[in-house]
Structures are given as structure tokens and as C-alpha cells.
Structure 1
């Protein structure tokens, strides 16, 4: 553990607070200047543009370090073309000879998350200038900072590369999924309502106090995250299901025996229909399903809406061929996601190790 001098953040870095640009001049037309709002910090890309005149003081360039001052206090490096710093977003930049931008980026992320946890507030928390002014950070020598940044940048670069690969692979998967499942007019393919060829069954209610936090039989209720684990199952492995309350419209497929609770609707297929094929078919229709969710205090999707979905039914052999291709894409994405999770853990480990000082 290295021994270093601790100083106030505002003494070793410049803090620029965003400007309250006139909202009537906001636009979705990307030919105008990108406007950096809180929601843009994490993706590091603009979603809104500004049509009016502006002060160059608030110009942000690629690589600048930004922090959202409401909500989750996210930190990020801007990765779009030059944009404008809107209110409730701040820019951090190290003072020459005292602190590197890269050092601030790696060190300040956990600091802002800690402040978020400690900040009282309702549904949306607010990061104040007073809190910024009170932050004290360790400031090692510039050569030490450079060494730390070089190591940690290797991890963040690898993480960003993996994220880009996942995005690309998802686009490929969605393209081939949509192409393979567009069977209209193909020879030997029937068009049927899902309820005509499969049983659409609502699950059975369980009481949460009867569930375990760990186990082998998951219980699905109102999301694709198990509510808990039960002592027995009511549906077998390789069954497709649809969440009908809460996260209504989410489509799942269980590779293990599971318990479907009363807000989980299962698709029971005959031997002539592959359940995994139905899963992929419903994924294509997911947007349509979600538009038919009844909006209320608890969003709900009716069993009838699912039963009335039209599906193309080719031969079982063709269903299995399509599933095999799409499963290959899914496995590839899952492998990349596993690599990403591992690399993020490695980054956190080395960040904590390298940025812990006396």
C-alpha cells in the first residue's frame, strides 16, 4: 500500500458545471450540435441536439470525463463528436502537473457511487457542488499516476472492445433470426394461431415464504429473474414461457425443470413442434406483445393475446435446423458476455489494488 498526500479534488482538478440551455431549442436533428444530458453520460453518445447559439466554454470533446449529477452519479468518457455540456452534468479535468484525467476517471467512479449511497433523497438523488468541494483524494506522483492509468486503461480498452463485439453479434443474431423466421409463402409452412397448435397454460401461485434463496428449481413469477427456488416443479426443462405481469411481455425459456407461478404463462408444445422454435418466434413478436400490455399499477398481458399470436409452422426438421443456427449465435453472445463479466471483475480487482493508499 503506497503512502501519498491527500488533497481536495478541486485543488488538483478543474470542475466545469453544465449550462441550462434553452429547452425550446432542443432537437432530434443530428445535423445540429450534440447536447450532453444526464442520460447521455453512461452511453457516451448524444440523443438530443441544440439549435441555438452557445458559449465555447461548454464545448465537450471526445475523451473528456463527465459526471451525471442526478440519479446514479455515473462517470464516463465522452465518445461522440464535440457536444455541449448541459446542466446537471459536470466535466472533470486534471490540473497540469498535478493530476491526470485518466487517474481521475479510474479513481472517481467508486467515489461517486459511495456518495450516491450516502446521499439522502427520494426517487432521484442529487449531487451537490458542496459535496464535490468536500471530496478529498490521494494524489500520487505524476509518474505513479501514469503507471496506474496505463495498466487500468488496458482493462477498460478490452472491456469496451468486448462490448462492441457483443453489440455486433446481437445485430447479426437479430438479422438472421428475422430472416430465418420469415416463412410466409414458403412451401409446406402453415400459419396458425399459437393457441391452435400449443396449450397456453397459466402457472400456479406459490407463497414467497415457502421459497428458498438458493436451489435447483427456479420459480418464475413477474420477471425473468427467479422469485426464489422451490422443492418441486410444475413444468419440465426446455419449456417456453411468457411473463404476464410486472415485466409483462418478457419471454423466457428454461433449460431446467421449473415452477411457473400465476403470472407466468407457459407454452406447452406437442411433439411436432419444438418449444425452442416457439421461443425464437415469440422473440420476433416481443415488441408487438409489449404494445398489448395493459398499463395499470401492475402491467398485465392477457393469456388470450399470447394465444392469438400467428406463428409459421414448418416441418419439425426445419424447426430444428433454425433453432440450431440461432442457438449458435446465442451461445456466442453468452460466451462474450462471460468474458466481459470476467474482465470487469479483473478491472475492479486491479483498480482497488492500485488505487488503495495510506
Structure 2
């Protein structure tokens, strides 16, 4: 594993020259407000509209379709025809949000601004890519416009890039590539595990009508009730609050161990908020975006807002985690039955109460939960499993990227 001390030793005493991008890169077109001496040469590429580009997608292609977003789309040389370009390049979009991409090989491009090194013995293209990635926020400040934002290329070309010896650039690229590849491997593993999880979840939670008894949630729940929100303009309802209060957006956490907000005892007494015991199931009755119909389970005692329905169960009769897992497969159905069926539609307690679920034996419920919880932890948990591992690797990569590319300027010494 790469160590901090090794990086410090690698960078120790290195001589670095800071040069403007226009001096060490060649771009794809002449830019307004950029002096001619800063763009002595250009390399033209064939551009296609985004919708035209995606019409060329082929599963067996070897020509990259370089959209303005990060995608994994390809086409064939036959489909690309004379429009194909080839090279080692770094691209940023001409309009929209900043997205830095690196590619080496044959490609077709949408409306990107494309750069390549003037001299590979002076500037490594992949090093240029990592430098721009490190400075995404700065690049973003150069994108302006009231509608679709476009980059001020004069400012971008005047950016100063640190140029250490080419051997060190190559080593920096190798180190950062190692982190990138590890994250990519973990992400691919997560995708595979999610597919596996979905397969087993659907298999375990699909029942024939005569295999189990289907019962309404209202018949198997001890309680079904919605919450409430203490008045936000009364400070004593919220200040120094110790009672967890769950908003509708937090249903997307899937398993709730903590909440962002807390209410006071006074706030609880003076609102329609109610205590929800841990190991309950919570369903979003309404909410922004695609929240409506989402399901979560609680691992703490809490209260909720009025857009959430809470379901409690007698664990000697029904495993609440089993209900959680099954209702997670019913997202589309729950949205379809909600009133209005549109963006403003909503579920209500009566709909939830009458919704039927399959109820196998408690022993079978426990078995299903045990299997699915393992997959849940591996694929969705932010405290363990692959998501946590990916997050840690990404932070590690960003730390070392900043360390490796943070060369002091002469005036900073």
C-alpha cells in the first residue's frame, strides 16, 4: 500500500516549473478573447450532436463515443466512418457542468473542448487530466451564463500547471491510476452484487397465491399512523431537542440509525408527531421526486413528519424486517395506487392499511431476512460492505491526488 512518507520522499527536492496551459497544450479550435500567439496550432476533430452520437451505439464497437457526460458508449469503425478521430486527449464540455475526461484511442466526440500535450517529453497527457480533475471547482468558476453555462477559455488557457520532471509525472500517474483502478474494480463488484441481491430478493419474495396467505397490512400491524411537524417558528419546539425527528427524504436511507433533526418534549406534546419504536417500518406517503412509495426500517426510537406512515408489529407474529424487504419490491405498485398517479399524487393510511402482503411462517420470514440482510449490508450499507469500501478508497485517492499535485510556487515558499 502507498504510504504518506513515501510520497513525501518522492516529492522531496523536486524542481517544478509553472507554465500556462496555452504554452504546453494544443486545443481543438481558436477561442475568442485568446491572443493568437497563445494558439499557434489547433487540432480539429469531427463533432456530432449528442442525439446523433447515441444513434451510433454498438455493443461490439472499439470506437469511443465521447459524450459530454461520463459514459461507457462505443461504436464500430464501420459506423463511425470518416468521422473517427484518434489520439490521447483530455476533454471538458463546451456547455453545461464541468466534466473532465481522459481517453486514448479512436473516438467520436460530442461538443467537447479537447486538449492534448504539445510535447509528451514535457507534459504527460494523463498527468494533465489529473491536474484538471484536482482543479474542477476552479474550472467550474470559469463556466458562466444565465442558461447553459459555457467556459471562459481565455481563463482556462491561462491556468498555471506545475511541470515536474517527466519521470515524476509518470510515477504520479501510475500511483493515481492504481487508486482509480481499485475503485473501478470495487464498483464493478458492487454492481455484480446488486444484481445478485435483486435476483435472490425477487426469488425469495415471489409467492404463488396458494403457497402462502396474503393479508392486509392493517390486519397484521399493531399500529399504522402518520406523524407531524412541530411549528418551525416556535424555537422551544426545536431548540435543545433530544427526540429524533425523521423527514420524508430520510426514508431513502433505507435503514435509519439517526436523523438530521431533533424535536423537544414540548414540540412533541404540541404537535401531531408521535413516538415510533425502533424496528418499525416507515413508508413515504408523499415527498419530492421519487420519494413517495419508498420504504425504510428504523433502528432507533424516533418521531416522523406527516408525510411518513409508521407501521409497528408484534415480533412474535410478524418479522418487521421481512415486511420491509417485501415492501421494497413493491415501490412501483405503491406509486401506482397512490391518488393522482402524478407528481402530486400521494398515498394515505387507508391505502397502506388495505395493501396485501404474503405472510409465510415466522421461521420462513426469519430465514428470508437473514439472507437478504447479508446482501443489504454488502450492497447498500454506508458503514460496512462495498459502499463503505468505495467511499474510503475515493477519499484516499483524493487525498493522495492533492498531495501529489500540490507543488509550492516560488512565491509560496
Does the TM-score normalized on the shorter chain lie above 0.5? Answer: yes
Q: What is the alpha-carbon distance in structure 1 between the residues aligned to residue 128 and residue 333 of structure 2?
A: 44
Q: Does the Cα contact within 8 Å between 2:50 and 2:110 map onto a contact in 1?
A: no
Task: Describe the SS at the equivalent of 2:173.
Answer: helix
Deviation at 1:216, TM superposition (A): 7.4
Distance 1:74 1:22, change over 3 A: closer
Task: Tell me the equivalent position of 1:342.
Answer: 392
* Residues 27 and 48 in structure 1, CA contact (< 8 A), matched pair in contact too: no
SS at match of 1:30: coil
Q: Distance in 2 between matches of 1:275 and 1:76?
A: 46
Q: Is contact 2:240-2:264 (8 Å) kept?
A: no
Q: Work out the CA distance in 2 between the residues paired with 1:103 and 1:216.
A: 50
User: Quick one: structure 1 residues 103 and 175, their matched pair in 2 at CA, closer, same or farther if it must change by over 3 Å?
Assistant: same
Partner of 1:36: 66
Relative contact order (alpha carbons < 8 A, sep ≥ 6): 1 or 2 greater? 1
Q: Whole-Å Cα distance in 2 between the matches of residues 234 and 133 of structure 1? A: 59
Gapped regions of structure 2 (runs ≥ 5): 1-10, 29-44, 254-258, 266-273, 409-413
CA 1:257/1:152 → structure 2, altered by over 3 Å: closer, same or farther? same
2-structure distance, mates of 1:355, 1:196? 62
Paired residue secondary structure (2:283) = strand
Matched residue SS, 1:319: helix
Other-structure match for 2:169: 145
Give the Cα–Cα distance (whole angstroms) in 2 for the partners of residues 148 and 342 of structure 1: 20
TM-score, structure 1 as length reference: 0.82
In structure 1, the partner of 2:100 is 75
Q: CA deviation at 1:318?
A: 0.9
Shift of 1:181: 0.3
Equivalent residue number for residue 19 of structure 1: 47
Q: Which residue of 2 aligns with 1:331?
A: 377
Secondary structure of residue in 2 paired with 1:217: strand
Shift of 1:120: 4.6
Q: Which residue of 1 aligns with 2:244?
A: 217
Does 316-325 or 249-258 show the bigger shift? 249-258
Count of aligned pairs between the two proteins? 349
CA gap of 1:14–1:204, structure 2 versus 1, over 3 A, is same
Q: Which residue of 2 aligns with 1:228?
A: 261
Unaligned 5+ residue runs, structure 1?
none
1:193-272 mapped onto 2 (5 Å cutoff): 193-198=216-221, 199-208=223-232, 210-211=237-238, 217-224=244-251, 226-231=259-264, 234-243=275-284, 244-246=286-288, 247-271=291-315, 272=317
Q: 1-side partners of 2:335 and 2:74: how far apart?
A: 24
What SS is found at the alignment partner of 1:341? helix
Contact 1:184–1:312 under 8 Å retained in 2? no
Q: 1:190 aligns to what?
A: 213
Q: Find the aligned partners of 2:53 and 2:185 in 1 and give their Cα distance.
A: 35
The root-mean-square deviation of aligned C-alpha atoms, in Å, is 3.5
CA distance in 2, matches of 1:27, 1:169: 31
Closer, same or farther in 2 for the Cα pair 1:57/1:28, shift >3 Å?
closer
CA gap of 1:23–1:346, structure 2 versus 1, over 3 A, is: closer
* Corresponding residue number in structure 1 for 2:256: none
Q: Check whether the contact 2:335–2:341 (CA below 8 A) recurs between aligned residues.
A: no
Instruction: Output the CA distance in 2 between the equivalents of 1:25 and 1:78.
Output: 17
2:321 alignment partner in structure 1: 276
Query: Which of the residues 3, 14, 18 maps onto 1:6?
Result: 18
Closer, same or farther: CA 250–94 of 1 in aligned 2, 3 Å: farther
Q: Would the alpha carbon gap of residues 109 and 287 (structure 1) be closer, same or farther in structure 2, given more than 3 Å must change?
A: farther
The Cα of 1:164 is off from its aligned counterpart by: 1.0
| 1:136 paired residue number | 160
Conservation of the 8 A alpha-carbon contact between 1:216 and 1:229: yes
Q: Does 1:321 align with 2:354?
A: no
Question: TM-score, normalised on structure 2?
Answer: 0.73
Task: Select the structure of larger CA radius of gyration.
Answer: 2
| Change in 2 beyond 3 A, CA 1:71/1:288 | farther
